[in-house]
Structure 1
Amino acid sequence: MNRVRLLVLNAALGPLDYTVPERMPIEPGSVVIAPLGPRKVTGIVWDNGRLPGAQVDASKLRPILEVVDVPPLSQPLRRLIEWTAEYYCAALASVARMVLSSGGALGGPMTTTEYRLSGGTPERMTPQRAAAIDALEGEQGIIRELAAIAGVSEGVLRGLVNQGVIEPVTVAIDRPYPAADPDFHQPALSDDQLEVANRLVKKVQAQDYAPVLLDGVTGSGKTETYFEPVAEAIRLGRQVLVLLPEIALTENFLVRFEKRFGTPPVLWHSSLKSTERRRAWRAISNGTAQVIVGARSALFLPYANLGLIVVDEAHEVSFKQDDGVRYNARDVSVMRARFESIPVILASATPALESLHMASTGTYELMELPSRFGGAQLPEIKLVNLTDEKPASGRWLSAPIIRALELRLEKGEQSLLFLNRRGYAPLTLCRNCGHRFQCPNCSAWLVEHRLSARLACHHCGLETQVPDACPDCGESDCLVACGPGVERIADEVGELFPEARVAVATSDTLGNPERAAAFIAQAEAKAIDVIVGTQLVTKGFHFPDLTLVGVVDADLGLEGGDLRAAERTYQQVAQVAGRAGRGSKPGEVLIQTRHPDAPVIAALANGDRDAFYAAETEARRDAGAPPFGRWAAIILSSEDEKEARAAAARLGDTRPDRDDLYILGPAPAPLALLRGRYRYRFLVNARRSANLQATLREWLDAHNFPPGVRVGVDIDPYSFV
């Protein structure tokens, strides 16, 4: 290879050609540093003929400067990058950046300083120093980590360092992770679990592409079941990727994983420090990381020897990326498994309708766990018609839920109240002049958060203090909170039951693994009587003494323009209902609704999932919606509203005239102003036979949009705001 074409990590540049110096070890997938004017750029050597671009005369080419000391990206990973860019109408460079997401990992060997006990004694022993020395026996880490383990301040430990009681140790950042033991603990599985586990183990042993939908009711032990093929992959020396939809779920999973395999898995998510990301990336790329548990971005890491992918809670909307490369990690996982020729397991108690359709056509193999583990029974579900059982004025909990809460408190059992709305109230207004607090950057109301004494926008992140007086009329003591959020429900529970220990569980209160771990520990120790939470508590948590679930507003998810509203409502309510009665005590679920006859609410009450999915499938078929048709959205935005509107109008004037496409728009997006940008959108409905991506590219490429206009394409959108 005396000349190569590089995919550089800048979408505006396109592929670039370079010469290869003599004896430089280069192959397709090599990560290299190349000159670009006075700068240096990182690029990936690509396969001949697979990147577009005219052939440049060799005399004009500059040589590559160096090959980065990391393994070349594998051929299956390069094909995945190409497929993702093509399918989601994204730039190749944007997808490749997700693979090389840890810039620090591309540097050479690095070391850091950690600390451990030296065996000495301090000049003066204090209770804090004595406690720290006892707690840190056999421990090693940075000062901040050791202080957390010992439960003392960092100052106490630094004093011990100064006296030589704690000594510094130089360690390599890239040191290997402890090895997982596939036979560390063999759990007792039910007959159903054992049958499914054995079938999954055979898929891993075959080392061939095999997409599996693991459909198990809540509490059926899906995690313990798929741990068996994970163990088999470890025995075979293969790597395993487990995708989780929420970082807050990670801590609960880690405890179960360590109990089964004797050591935690390797983590990958946005909260990792740069040194942790570097260590994980390099261990993944050289094959020493055995099991990787991460958020959706972990899907694009350069695994050396991937043998199995598991997507837990595979129905979750959070697997869909809403900006940048708008990919769905569930679907891309299946494609990565296909390119790698390995099995992929999609695990869920409420699978996406598209996944069930793929199983019904034989594209996915369906494996079912129809009953709960250990003889536990599914909870009894009852509807509370809010038209008949109206809450008291200024209240949001009906009498049946209040009586059920009182009964659980008397029994010493736990309860969960679900409302998928963060904060205290979704709208704050002035009772004197009617002023409503709105985000200046978005067409959305500011949400009051009393726990932090802030008004916040949940779209752009803006926060401001709650004023003492109305900013319009100047009247004081006139601000009114309208509607309920979880904080308001928690206050109501506290007023009704002052002795109850109440915890609010949302992304605001459980925003990192440490907070989630503390919450889980409290709940398991029965230090919490009532949990009030959002969708964050609908999955993954197992509290044996939780016997009551109350859904405060089951109709909330049916509002607005979400084309998957019924399916999403069913999934959320069914998942949160599944938190009840997971131990030996029976569970009860009360669902407050004003529309008890709505098909999705009736299906939940009757426990008839199949009937709901059948009706929803036929409705989708009639509408040409997924999985029978295709959706795509085009979003144009600008800081200038007129510029955005004009660009959308010009694009609309040249819309393709095809029998297999139906294009709606342009129209202002439901969230017409977002982060200071005015937004117009098109919604495209296409038949399965249509070449949707090629049509969209041809349509958009014919336009030169003004510099201030951004154009985004969302294939298979989940957000319609």
Structure 2
Amino acid sequence: MVQSSLLEPLPSRKRVSVLLPLPFPCALDYAVPQSLADTLAPGDVVVVPLGGRRETGVVWEETALPVDLAPPPPPEIAASRLRPIKERLDLPPLSAELRQFIDWVAAYTLAPPGMVLAMALRSHLRGEQTAPAVGWVRVGEPPESLRMTPARRAVLDALPQGAPPVTMAELTEKAGVGVSVVRGLADAGVLKSMLMGPVSPFAEPDPFHNPPVLEGDQATAATGLRARVEERVFSATLLEGVTGSGKTEIYLEAVAECLAQGRQALVLLPEIALSAQWMDRFARRFGVRPAVWHSEIGQKARRLTWAACEDGSARVIVGARSALFMPFRDLGLVIVDEEHEAVFKQEDGVTYNARDMAVVRARLAKAPIVLASATPSLETLNNVETGRYRHLVLTARHGGASMPETHLIDMRENPPPRGLFLSPVLVEAVKARLGRGEQAMLFLNRRGYAPLTLCRTCGHRMECPHCTSWLVEHRKKRVLACHYCEHTEPVPHACPTCGAEDSLTAIGPGIERITEEARSEFPDARIMVMASDTISGPAATAEAVGRISRREVDLIIGTQIVAKGWHFPHLTLVGVVDADLGLGGADLRAGERTMQLLHQVAGRAGRAEAPGEVLLQSFTPEHPVMQALVSGDFAAFMAEEADQRKPGFWPPFGRLAALIVSSENADAADNAARQLGVSAPHGNGVEVLGPVPAPIAVLRGRHRRRLLLRTHRNIAVQPILRRWLGQVTLTSAVRVDVDVDPISFM
């Protein structure tokens, strides 16, 4: 932990370290001017010179990290070379807890610490600070010479002597008068203006507002989570429950206990912009909505939320990954909902897994963390198995609803007509449900109209000019798009290779093509498409959810967005168009991910009184994933996955770290990867695989090569990576990205 002396002013120090939100390997030393010598403390936000410009940073001090993570100390700079700090900004300092968390994330991921700081500091500084409001107070009785009109009397009645200050807008509205009446009383010495302290934009959630009635396993689980919060020490608990078992309502009871203790709670959701129903549940339980933190909120809202988190007035923060870096005053609980979701891994910039770093943040805050999922990751299940995490299990759906029955459609025996993609068995099942006035869903995790466009004459395939990936046709927009770099181009009339006109044809189905087929098969159905192309942001999501709940939609056609915990009580049938999608390739977690995704999708069916059914279209119905989905035995499937990974020390039974070498020049990338391969570490329990071209060998114009370091579980990868990278000198034309604990191998 941070030494206590580091929290005090530094009067005797002539130099301090300042961490800048820039990609430097460490903090930089600066001289302390005499004007700040008695007051400057770690965490203070300061302005320092850097070259010919001024930069904002934070006074930093060494953090006690585990030996395996601690980076080597930076070289000492002579005092005569130090430049002085320019000024200290009038901003709240970063707490010791947050600074230690930033150091921990940087050391674990091998990212420049300044780039981790940037995720916390830039929101702190961006834009002008909100000026305090001007309020009015009563300071005396009206003089006898002042004529008392009904309007003036109304103002005095609205603002009695000793009342707290109120804004002009509040006072005029309450008294029902104009601004001139208030100013007239101020001129007479009856009222006085004053600066008001910041008013929190977030109402106080009431932990006793609308408590649920919980019974059986639900009550036991809620009691257990409340007890963890009451202990006020770090603990980790997996809350595992079948879809529809009420996991959200249960962990909100832990939030209620946290609020009752006067502490703050952080809830991480995988898709915060798509969580309209979650926000409604929170408001029903606590009477108000929580503070929200994600990329789509405006700059003013970001500044207000940041300040309210820092001063403690934002009691519950619900956010995406970056909410981990907010300045909580007294963090008492962390929730990670749908902890298995791959979206918690940030792939660009600082590469980190928000689920794993949330455990670190909770540990540093001495707070419990709850990881909730119907389909927990193998890493989390292994932590339960080894005793690191507690385990609470809910085996039944809430309110007596039953789990849906799952059936396989063997596409070899029940193929669709030529050129179509829905089996007659699935089509008839949808018609039957719609005929009974129930809702149905078709799921395909592929955006666009078709994943491949080729020429029937010469066989040319339309490929992205910047990536080794096929262009996806989006027929509605009349473009071909790359889903890796967002390159788009119009659909050509003629083949760009042979010049044959009208020879380009779409191969395979995307969500748009399934929608086209569905409109033909179910002409009277009211169809809604839920994909990132059609549903963007909280407002659009809330509208879509409302329409479905009001039964204004008969058939939902969606991508993975529809797997995100929705509760649609009238949805009784889910049809998965291509259940095999995702099982191909060499992805270590292909089976686990497919199982989790399809299990979550299947869980949308039959969540109320009417029983649900799930139909999986598959060309490999004998695959273990398909058989596990039919049997509903998720635990047995994950146990088999674990047995397959143990002998090779694959995660979670070993450690992985990837090096991704990239350059705009293919030869430069090959040479750098070859150098790293020659100098690769080796030894007992240490192995390096590669270098090899990445599956996406060219991405955004950069040629990519991959090396994979694998070690036994008891061997940390960070010291090995530091030594390895330190042995190789690379040119500026080459970039090496480090991904500790990779979940994607593209």
Secondary structure of the equivalent of 1:571? Answer: helix
- The corresponding residue for 2:89 is 68
Secondary structure of the equivalent of 1:101? Answer: helix
CA distance in structure 1 between the partners assigned to 2:466 and 2:492 by the alignment = 19
- Whether the 8 Å contact between 1:663 and 1:685 is mirrored in structure 2 is yes
- The corresponding residue for 1:145 is none
- The corresponding residue for 1:37 is 51
- Whether the 8 Å contact between 2:124 and 2:306 is mirrored in structure 1 is no
- Whether the 8 Å contact between 2:405 and 2:612 is mirrored in structure 1 is yes
* Offset at residue 23 of structure 1 (A): 5.5
> Does residue 229 in structure 1 map to residue 254 in structure 2?
yes
- The corresponding residue for 1:694 is 719
Structure 1: gaps of 5 or more residues: 114-139, 141-169
Map Cα deviations across residues 339-374 of structure 1 (whole Å, 9 max, x no partner).
Answer: 111000000000001101111111000011111000
Larger mean CA deviation between 215-224 and 201-210 belongs to 201-210
- Whether the 8 Å contact between 1:70 and 1:106 is mirrored in structure 2 is no
Q: CA RMSD in A?
A: 2.0
* Offset at residue 38 of structure 1 (A): 2.8
Q: With the length of structure 1 as denominator, give the TM-score of the two structures.
A: 0.89
* Offset at residue 72 of structure 1 (A): 2.0
> Does residue 326 in structure 1 map to residue 351 in structure 2?
yes
- The corresponding residue for 1:710 is 735
Map Cα deviations across residues 610-639 of structure 1 (whole Å, 9 max, x no partner).
Answer: 211111110010221111111111100000
Q: 1:564 to 1:13 in 2, by over 3 A?
A: closer
CA distance in structure 2 between the partners assigned to 1:185 and 1:352 by the alignment = 32
Map Cα deviations across residues 190-218 of structure 1 (whole Å, 9 max, x no partner).
Answer: 32212111111111111100101000100
CA distance in structure 1 between the partners assigned to 2:560 and 2:313 by the alignment = 35
Q: 1:107 to 1:552 in 2, by over 3 A?
A: same
> Does residue 338 in structure 1 map to residue 363 in structure 2?
yes
Show the 5 A alignment for 1:413-492. Answer: 413-492=438-517
Show the 5 A alignment for 1:6-17. Answer: 6-12=18-24, 14-17=26-29
Aligned partner (choices 120, 133, 139) of residue 99 of structure 1: 120
> Does residue 376 in structure 1 map to residue 409 in structure 2?
no
Q: Which amino acid aligns with 2:24?
A: A
Identity of aligned residues (%): 49
CA distance in structure 1 between the partners assigned to 2:390 and 2:551 by the alignment = 40
CA distance in structure 2 between the partners assigned to 1:480 and 1:38 by the alignment = 57
- The corresponding residue for 1:84 is 105
- The corresponding residue for 1:510 is 535
Secondary structure of the equivalent of 1:537? Answer: helix
Show the 5 A alignment for 1:65-464. Answer: 65-104=86-125, 107-110=128-131, 175-464=200-489
CA distance in structure 2 between the partners assigned to 1:184 and 1:176 by the alignment = 20
- Whether the 8 Å contact between 2:293 and 2:320 is mirrored in structure 1 is yes
> Does residue 575 in structure 1 map to residue 600 in structure 2?
yes
- Whether the 8 Å contact between 1:248 and 1:510 is mirrored in structure 2 is no
* Offset at residue 326 of structure 1 (A): 1.0
Aligned partner (choices 656, 679, 682) of residue 704 of structure 2: 679
- The aligned length equals 667
> Does residue 46 in structure 1 map to residue 60 in structure 2?
yes
- The corresponding residue for 2:654 is 629
Aligned partner (choices 692, 703, 708) of residue 667 of structure 1: 692
Secondary structure of the equivalent of 2:413? Answer: coil
Q: 1:174 to 1:450 in 2, by over 3 A?
A: farther
- Whether the 8 Å contact between 1:413 and 1:529 is mirrored in structure 2 is yes
- Whether the 8 Å contact between 1:238 and 1:305 is mirrored in structure 2 is yes
CA distance in structure 2 between the partners assigned to 1:95 and 1:108 by the alignment = 23
* Offset at residue 185 of structure 1 (A): 1.4
> Does residue 525 in structure 1 map to residue 546 in structure 2?
no
Q: Which amino acid aligns with 1:385?
A: D
CA distance in structure 2 between the partners assigned to 1:68 and 1:182 by the alignment = 37
- The corresponding residue for 2:156 is none
Q: Which amino acid aligns with 2:238?
A: L
> Does residue 26 in structure 1 map to residue 51 in structure 2?
no
Larger mean CA deviation between 36-45 and 380-389 belongs to 36-45
CA distance in structure 2 between the partners assigned to 1:447 and 1:403 by the alignment = 30
Secondary structure of the equivalent of 1:439? Answer: coil
CA distance in structure 2 between the partners assigned to 1:406 and 1:108 by the alignment = 58
Show the 5 A alignment for 1:593-632. Answer: 593-632=618-657
* Offset at residue 173 of structure 1 (A): 9.1
Map Cα deviations across residues 503-532 of structure 1 (whole Å, 9 max, x no partner).
Answer: 111111122111111111111111111111
- Whether the 8 Å contact between 2:129 and 2:303 is mirrored in structure 1 is no
Map Cα deviations across residues 570-620 of structure 1 (whole Å, 9 max, x no partner).
Answer: 101110000000011100001111111111111111111121111111001
CA distance in structure 2 between the partners assigned to 1:229 and 1:318 by the alignment = 24
Q: 1:226 to 1:36 in 2, by over 3 A?
A: same
Larger mean CA deviation between 4-13 and 374-383 belongs to 4-13
Q: With the length of structure 2 as denominator, give the TM-score of the two structures.
A: 0.87
Secondary structure of the equivalent of 1:40? Answer: strand
* Offset at residue 659 of structure 1 (A): 1.8
Map Cα deviations across residues 374-409 of structure 1 (whole Å, 9 max, x no partner).
Answer: 000000011111111111111111121111100111
CA distance in structure 2 between the partners assigned to 1:176 and 1:498 by the alignment = 48
Secondary structure of the equivalent of 2:352? Answer: coil
CA distance in structure 1 between the partners assigned to 2:527 and 2:130 by the alignment = 48
* Offset at residue 103 of structure 1 (A): 5.0
Secondary structure of the equivalent of 1:666? Answer: strand
CA distance in structure 2 between the partners assigned to 1:101 and 1:307 by the alignment = 25
CA distance in structure 2 between the partners assigned to 1:354 and 1:64 by the alignment = 45
* Offset at residue 69 of structure 1 (A): 2.7
CA distance in structure 2 between the partners assigned to 1:606 and 1:112 by the alignment = 62
CA distance in structure 2 between the partners assigned to 1:173 and 1:255 by the alignment = 27
CA distance in structure 2 between the partners assigned to 1:251 and 1:202 by the alignment = 29
Secondary structure of the equivalent of 2:275? Answer: helix
Q: Which amino acid aligns with 1:94?
A: M
CA distance in structure 1 between the partners assigned to 2:431 and 2:623 by the alignment = 29
- Whether the 8 Å contact between 2:27 and 2:60 is mirrored in structure 1 is no
Larger mean CA deviation between 268-277 and 60-69 belongs to 60-69
Q: Which amino acid aligns with 1:12?
A: F
CA distance in structure 2 between the partners assigned to 1:108 and 1:602 by the alignment = 57
Q: 1:207 to 1:705 in 2, by over 3 A?
A: same
Larger mean CA deviation between 181-190 and 104-113 belongs to 104-113
Map Cα deviations across residues 243-300 of structure 1 (whole Å, 9 max, x no partner).
Answer: 0111343222111111111111111111111111111111112211111111111111
- Whether the 8 Å contact between 1:109 and 1:172 is mirrored in structure 2 is no
- Whether the 8 Å contact between 2:26 and 2:112 is mirrored in structure 1 is no
Q: 1:410 to 1:657 in 2, by over 3 A?
A: same
Q: Which amino acid aligns with 2:61?
A: D
CA distance in structure 2 between the partners assigned to 1:209 and 1:400 by the alignment = 52
Q: Which amino acid aligns with 1:19?
A: A
* Offset at residue 6 of structure 1 (A): 1.1
- Whether the 8 Å contact between 1:70 and 1:285 is mirrored in structure 2 is no
CA distance in structure 1 between the partners assigned to 2:654 and 2:371 by the alignment = 22
Structure 2: gaps of 5 or more residues: 1-9, 65-70, 135-168, 170-194
Secondary structure of the equivalent of 1:336? Answer: helix
Larger mean CA deviation between 361-370 and 463-472 belongs to 463-472
Q: Which amino acid aligns with 2:99?
A: R
Larger mean CA deviation between 620-629 and 16-25 belongs to 16-25
Aligned partner (choices 499, 506, 524) of residue 499 of structure 1: 524
- Whether the 8 Å contact between 1:414 and 1:547 is mirrored in structure 2 is yes
